[in-house]
Homo-oligomer: A and B are copies of this chain.
Amino acid sequence: MEHMNSNKVHVSVPELQNRARLLISCPDQSGIVAAVSQFLSDQGANIVHSDQYTMDPAGGIFFMRIEFDLHESSKHLAAIQSDFATLANPFGMRWLLSPASHRKRLAIFVSKEDHCLLELLWQWRAGELDADIVLIVSNHLDMKTIAESFGIPYLYVPVTPETKAEAESQHREAVKLANVDIIILARYMQIIPPTFIEQYRNRIINIHHSFLPAFVGGNPYAQAHHRGVKLIGATAHYVTEELDGGPIIEQDIQRVTHRNHVTDLKRIGRQIERTVLARAVAWHVEDRVIVHNNKTVVFI
Contact = CB atoms under 8 A, between A and B. Distances in A.
Given A34-B38, A253-B231, A57 B52 contact: no
* Copy count, this protein chain: 4
B228 A231 contact: no
A212 B295 CA distance: 21
B28 A46 contact: yes
A177 interface: no
Contact of A53 (B1, B2, B259, B298): B259
Interface residues of A, number: 69
Interface in A1-38: 1-4, 15, 28-34, 37-38
A75 interface: no
A190 interface: no
Nearest to A146: B3
A296 interface: yes
B228 A296 contact: yes
A211 B227 contact: no
Interface in A208-228: 211-215, 227-228
A179 interface: no
A102 interface: no
Contacts of A145: 1-4
A298 B258 CA distance: 7
B69 A44 contact: no
Contacts of A49: 52-54, 259
A168 interface: no
A40 interface: yes
Interface stretch (A88-96, A152-160, A196-204, A243-251): A243-251
A297 B251 CA distance: 26
Contacts of A271: 275
B122 A118 contact: yes
Contacts of A1: 1, 145, 149
A208 to B, nearest CB: 12
A50 interface: yes
B33 A37 contact: yes
B53 A57 contact: no
A213 to B, nearest CB: 5
Nearest to A247: B228
A192 interface: no
A48 B57 contact: yes
23 contacts: A1-B1, A1-B149, A3-B142, A30-B44, A34-B37, A34-B38, A38-B38, A48-B54, A49-B54, A51-B51, A53-B258, A126-B270, A128-B267, A149-B149, A211-B211, A212-B229, A214-B214, A229-B248, A231-B251, A231-B252, A257-B298, A258-B296, A258-B297
Given A212-B229, A230-B248, 15 more contacts: A1-B1, A29-B46, A34-B34, A37-B38, A49-B52, A49-B54, A49-B259, A50-B51, A118-B122, A211-B211, A211-B231, A228-B248, A228-B295, A231-B251, A258-B298
